[in-house]
Amino acid sequence: MWLLIIWVSVLIWAAGTFWFLFKKPSPFSASSVRPAEPLELDQKKRDKVLKQGFTKEKIPANLDAIIIGSGIGGMTAAATMAKSGKKVLVLEQHDVAGGCCHTFTEKGFEFDVGLHYFGQLHENGLLKVAMDQISEGQLEFVELPQHFDSIVIDDKGKRRDYPILSGRVEMEQNLKKLFPNDVKAVEEFFKVMKLTARKTPLMAILKIIPQWFALFLIKSGIANLISSIFRLSDFNATEMNYKLTSNKDLHLIFSYFFYGVAPKESSFMINALMLHHFKRGAYYPKGGASEIPFHVTKVIQKYGGSVLVRAPVSRILVDNKGTAYGVTVKKGEEHVEIRAPVIISNCGIFNTFQKLLPTEIQTKPEIQSRLDMMRPGKASFLLFSGFDATQEELGITATSTWLFKSNDMDGMMDDFFSMSKDEAPENVPMVLITFPSAKDSQTSQIRHPGKSCMTILTMVNYEWFEDWKDTRVRKRGDDYFSYKQRFADHIFNWACQHFPKLKDKLVYQEAATPLTNMHYLSCNRGAIYSADHNLERFYAEAMARNRCDTPVKNLYLSGQDIFSCGIAGALHGGLLCASTVLNYPVYIDLYLLKKNLKWRKAKETAKLAEKKQQ
């Protein structure tokens, strides 16, 4: 009798699982991808898509979801839900859609504000399949040179240059050549990197399965038996680097993607994952970063949704039962109320919980508990420079350059971030130098002939700029301008030491401080990478608890705060959010689609080979 009951239960469970995974309509399909259309170069036509100003009349009727913020995390969630038959509205406080993917043009120069380059866009890779789906095939990418990054250590006049190469085997082989006495350390690092890349999806699954079950797997030790990735998530980068080698130059290479957290406080797993991200190549959007919101917006519109700008959300509406039911948008002196059964916030956990929720909800223990899991991230400082010269005349390439004043990242960062406000500007210890115009040189010269642009990024303390937080943009005073210019002059002169032809051709320059990031990107304390990426955030239990659903019913989170930073991290945050809201694991559809595309490609290749033999 009991055997029969168990057998029937298994059959019911199997049938339910089959229905859940395969009978629900999928938002993704190979047929939705069409050949990319020519680049739209008419700025007026682009503005009609990217700069649709908010009015009451433009709000779609019968909304299924409202998304706060048009960064890639919010746009991915919105497009996925739209393709699932949901009517969505994306609200953006800035005057152009895109978040960190938007661009701005000044004096004929076009600058990225957050996207520098990203990886894993090789044919039929999961990220490429996802990008194709949310844009329906309209995004094209330029593959950067194999030598995609240069690490330069300016150590008291003893300069050391290390090229970083992409390639399945070339990346590892190159590091072995650069460090012949540390071949074993490089091999061990790449073994861990491979494990991280293959098993990190298990960490993401913790955010989709029921939380009680995820915590049971972790606390019972079953998770550790399933994969060593759950144990690896407990190790900081410095600790693991020293286990591999004592060579501090190699330590720096293993952790060179700085995002405001010293290696001793950051996750070895995440640092390894970042380097692996570029193993199959580095890529840049053809036509510039704004192509991403331009095409994703059109997909959202195609399915009845809208992306509206100049729409600052002032409050998330919550009823007396603790359920979110809408938002208010500030339109002049008026606060426009918009209702929907689902609210998705893509503006970060701190903005969402500390600024947008009603005060009585903010103080609830369950909200504070979620906030206590995170800490604010380090702020960013960016310098945008324009040159009246081609890349050939400037001697620049698509390769990004990471400059460091020492190979001791822990020491450098501790010293710098502990400096006084007055000491800091002339003591910046690390910068990223990137030339967007060189990464997409063909279309850049069509759109902006004879011009080149450079972006320099570094991390700073928000507190150094806090004195001006209550001033208005572009009206912060001479003392503010002088202070930020000290940072700008120092890092620009440092860049000119490595690219000496820049200084004579400079015709435009603008610095973006943490306050700039807060104004245009609504970044909490100017942190473009959102919440801090400290080690504790990536513990298995923290990953299970930090999920898209929130203590407020019908309110969900998307973007960088859900999984990790960067364009790819934010995109995965959007996919995880869509999976949660739809109660359907869209990753399974992406995975099956990826396998199907690979099978088709293999079949086509076999046919071509057969024809050649005939």
- What is the tally of structural domains in the chain? 3
pLDDT at 310: 98
Q: Does residue 119 lie in a domain region? A: no
Instruction: Give the separation between CA 485 and CA 233, rounded to whole angstroms.
Output: 40
Q: Does residue 21 lie in a domain region? A: no
Q: Does residue 232 lie in a domain region? A: yes
Verify that 251 and 314 share a domain, yes or no.
no
Verify that 480 and 387 share a domain, yes or no.
yes
Q: Does residue 346 lie in a domain region? A: yes
Verify that 357 and 387 share a domain, yes or no.
no
Give residue 352's domain range. Answer: 43-99+126-135+286-364+551-600
Last residue of a domain, one of 277, 297, 320: 277
Instruction: Give the separation between CA 200 and CA 289, rounded to whole angstroms.
Output: 27
Q: In what order do the strands lie in the sheet with 334-339?
A: 313-318, 324-331, 334-339
151-169 per-position pLDDT tens digit: 999 987 789 999 999 999 9
Residue 502 has pLDDT above 60, yes or no: yes
Length, in residues, of the chain: 614
Q: 259 falls in which pLDDT band (50, 70, 90)?
A: very high
| Tokens representing residue 343 in the block | 């609210």
Verify that 50 and 184 share a domain, yes or no.
no
Query: Tell me, what DSSP letter sits at residue 266?
Result: B
372-400 per-position pLDDT tens digit: 999 999 999 999 999 999 999 999 999 99
416-473 per-position pLDDT tens digit: 999 999 999 999 999 999 999 999 998 999 999 999 999 999 999 999 999 999 999 9
Instruction: Give the separation between CA 338 and CA 343, rounded to whole angstroms.
Output: 10
Q: 333 falls in which pLDDT band (50, 70, 90)?
A: confident
Q: Which residue has the higher pLDDT, 73 or 18?
A: 73
pLDDT (mean) for 298-305 = 97
596-605 per-position pLDDT tens digit: 988 988 888 8
Verify that 499 and 403 share a domain, yes or no.
yes
Q: What is the mean pLDDT of the chain?
A: 93
Q: 543 falls in which pLDDT band (50, 70, 90)?
A: very high
67-113 per-position pLDDT tens digit: 999 999 999 999 999 999 999 999 999 999 999 999 999 999 999 99
Verify that 414 and 458 share a domain, yes or no.
yes
Verify that 570 and 431 share a domain, yes or no.
no
Residue 180 has pLDDT above 80, yes or no: yes
pLDDT at 24: 67
Residue 7 has pLDDT above 60, yes or no: no
353-376 per-position pLDDT tens digit: 999 999 999 999 999 999 999 999
Verify that 386 and 456 share a domain, yes or no.
yes
Q: 23 falls in which pLDDT band (50, 70, 90)?
A: low
Residue 17 has pLDDT above 60, yes or no: no
Residue 4 has pLDDT above 70, yes or no: no
Residue 554 has pLDDT above 70, yes or no: yes
pLDDT (mean) for 40-69 = 96
Of the listed ranges 9-13, 44-48, 311-315, the least confidently predicted one is 9-13
Q: 10 falls in which pLDDT band (50, 70, 90)?
A: very low
pLDDT (mean) for 123-152 = 96
**b/e for 201-237, b at 16 or more Cβ within 10 A?**
ebbbbbbbeeeeebbebbeeeebeeebebbebbebbb
DSSP code string of 416-471: HHTS-TTTGGGG--EEEEE-HHHHTHHHHHHHSTT-EEEEEEEEE-GGGGGGGTTS
pLDDT at 96: 98
Verify that 389 and 519 share a domain, yes or no.
yes
Verify that 434 and 356 share a domain, yes or no.
no
| Tokens representing residue 383 in the block | 């310098």
pLDDT (mean) for 493-518 = 97
Distance of CA 132 to the CA centre of its chain: 17
Verify that 360 and 406 share a domain, yes or no.
no
Percentage of the chain exceeding pLDDT 90: 91
pLDDT (mean) for 188-198 = 95
Verify that 175 and 154 share a domain, yes or no.
no
- Does the global pTM surpass 0.85? yes
pLDDT at 415: 98
CA atoms within 13 A on the CB side of 250: 26
Residue 529 has pLDDT above 50, yes or no: yes
Residues 237, 266 contacting (CB under 8 angstroms): yes
pLDDT at 601: 85
Last residue of a domain, one of 250, 277, 304: 277
